[in-house]
Amino acid sequence: MTTRIVDSADVSPEATVGEDSSIWHLAQVREGAVLGRGCVIGRGAYVGTGVRMGDHCKVQNYALVYEPAELADGVFIGPAAVLTNDTFPRAINPDGSLKDASDWEAVGVTIGQGASIGARAVCVAPVRIGAWATVAAGAVVTRDVPAHALMVGVPARQVGWVGRAGHPLEQTTTPGQWRCPTTGTLYRELDGSLTEENDA
């Protein structure tokens, strides 16, 4: 397999695209962006200046990943999801003049390995999304998300835990212990965080 960039995609010559990646119709990848191996950038998606993306990430159709976002390996960004970068957005300054790049400081969203952001979800920078967490479709994340957390709603709140397979975990009869219904992997909950039992 080789890297595939369709003719209608707009990929800056100053971007770095890893081997075996695919960039589809009307997608834009800005200067200084770094994509790892085997990434997929869907139709109409936007990857901002200097965004850093690990291996095997998927940015689905019309998702917007604004700089300086950082995505670890295996991150999924659903269709039309948005990673913001402006804490106090305004088009103009107090004097009415149009804002330019020197009038504000971009802040980024950081997403850990294997995490998933659902369709039309919004992550408000500078939040951090923990590894293997899942943000449900349409959720709005305004606070940091623990690893393996399942987040829903506006504003997003945690309603459970998810395993590496992405399925909600089931609580076992042992206090603080959770099991993945698809892989059987056991997890341990302690002080608001979750770890695989063999990692403890």
* 103/57 Cα distance (integer angstroms): 32
One-letter amino acid at 97 equals S
β-partners of residue 31 are: none
Task: Compute and round to an integer the Cα radius of gyration of the chain.
Answer: 18
List alpha helices for the chain, DSSP H: none
- Taking only the tens of pLDDT, the chain with its 200 residues reads 689 999 999 999 999 999 999 999 999 999 999 999 999 999 999 999 999 999 999 999 999 999 999 999 999 999 999 999 999 999 999 999 999 988 889 999 999 999 999 999 999 999 999 999 999 999 999 999 999 999 999 999 999 999 999 999 999 999 999 999 999 999 999 999 999 987 54
One-letter amino acid at 161 equals W
**Could you list the residue range(s) of the whole structural domain that residue 103 is in?**
4-159
* CATH value at residue 140: 2.160.10.10
Structural contact between residues 69 and 48, judged by C-beta atoms closer than 8 angstroms: yes
Both 72 and 28 in a single domain? yes
Both 110 and 178 in a single domain? no
* 65/6 Cα distance (integer angstroms): 20
Both 148 and 180 in a single domain? no
- Considering its fold, how many domains does the chain have in total? 2
Structural contact between residues 75 and 53, judged by C-beta atoms closer than 8 angstroms: yes
* 51/31 Cα distance (integer angstroms): 9
- Judged by DSSP in three states, 197 sits in helix
Both 56 and 104 in a single domain? yes
The residues near 105 (Cβ < 8 Å, ≥ 6 apart) are: none
